[in-house]
Amino acid sequence: MVAAAVALRSAYGMGWAPVVLMLLCVPLIAIHEPPFGPIGLAMFILAVVLFVRQAAAVSEGAVHPLDRLIPAQPA
């Protein structure tokens, strides 16, 4: 989950806030006993909301990174 957040951060050029929230929420979700599990899930939801808002702000003025073709390097 954290690797996916880092990859999406580098693809969209966003801030570190969603990645940091993902790092903090993983152990809390793993514990999953109240109050830690619900706090971890709330942090995960906040990270997703931040990611979506930042992705929308970045993509308004730029070309989507997955729309560009990248030539493969010869083996």
- Note the pTM of the prediction, 2 decimals: 0.67
Averaged pLDDT for residues 8-21: 80
Q: What's the pLDDT band for 59 if we cut at 50, 70, 90?
A: low
Residue 41, pLDDT above cutoff 90 = yes
DSSP one-letter string for 9-46: HHHHT--SHHHHHHHHHHHHHHH-STTHHHHHHHHHHH
Residue with tokens 């006993």: 33
Average pLDDT, the chain: 80
Listed in sequence order, the residues at least 6 apart from 32 whose beta carbon sits closer than 8 Å to its beta carbon are 40
> Looking at 13-17, 30-34, 47-51, 57-61, which range is the least confident one?
57-61
Listed in sequence order, the residues at least 6 apart from 51 whose beta carbon sits closer than 8 Å to its beta carbon are 5, 8, 14, 18
